Chain A
């Protein structure tokens, strides 16, 4: 009886610790850019140096969050190495089905709301205009790693129910993506197709129980618009 009570107490303490860690990671992720920006403003650093220092600061944040989840990530990496083919195939099947579903939902929304524009995608294409390498680095490494950790791992440690985890993380990630970049209230309809995409990544993570798989598929997905933009440059040149 005593051991049962102490076991319950340990489990409760562990869940509170995970909750505390998750809240710290979320607060850190959102406050960090403002903290960095205020320091750069205080020092009077302007573009283009500020852009590179911000990139460096983003990677520092990424390292901090990786170190917070280091043990879990190490286990995931070991599992990935042991079951690489199985995990990638499992994730790949979900990715294909999810991508088709996402394409379908997006196409329906294009018909229903033809004037809705994804301002987030446009703002990233503007980054391409300034520096393609910068865009490549942030979309291939920074965003997939940090967002999978913040919007997926943080939540999976706390939300135990499968569908509650998938739906919640999908809506939260999509809402932040669309709401933080929208220029017109009409464009907020993009939350729904975007949530389908993020839901697919959450599903991959839940089913494989390995954050590197969903990170990998997000990297692959992010490579597509980058290659298209690069192709456009190539077409213009040749």
Chain B
């Protein structure tokens, strides 16, 4: 395939992924290729993903928020003395 068409195909795949390729296979592929440094453990996104449809997450969010607020208030109270 000519380079131009390869690039366009790749771009198309990038935009819509019509074959519905399982991207998670990249993790296992690279884990097998690099057995000493497990890519599954290292290559991950720095992002907090919250599944709002999970009802447990709402309770966890409330608990987390309360803990964070207590830490912040505590820090202000103690550092200003």
Contacts and interface: CB of A to CB of B under 8 A. Distances in A.
| Same assembly | yes
Interface of A: 12, 15-16, 19, 22-23, 26-27, 30, 33-34, 37, 102-103, 106-107, 109-110, 117-118, 120-126, 128-133, 138-139, 143-144, 147, 155, 158-161, 164, 168, 172-173, 175-177, 179-181, 193-194, 197-198, 201, 218, 221-222, 224-226, 228-234, 236-238
Contacts of B38: 106-107, 110
29 contacts: A19-B72, A26-B65, A103-B42, A118-B41, A120-B49, A121-B27, A121-B45, A125-B23, A125-B24, A125-B27, A129-B17, A132-B14, A138-B47, A144-B46, A158-B76, A159-B72, A164-B75, A173-B48, A176-B50, A176-B64, A181-B51, A194-B44, A198-B46, A225-B45, A228-B39, A232-B23, A233-B23, A236-B21, A237-B10
B: interface residue count bin = 35 or more
Contact of B64 (A117, A175, A237): A175
A12 B30 CA distance: 53
A129 B25 CA distance: 11
Interface in B18-67: 19-27, 29-30, 36-52, 57-58, 60-61, 64-65, 67
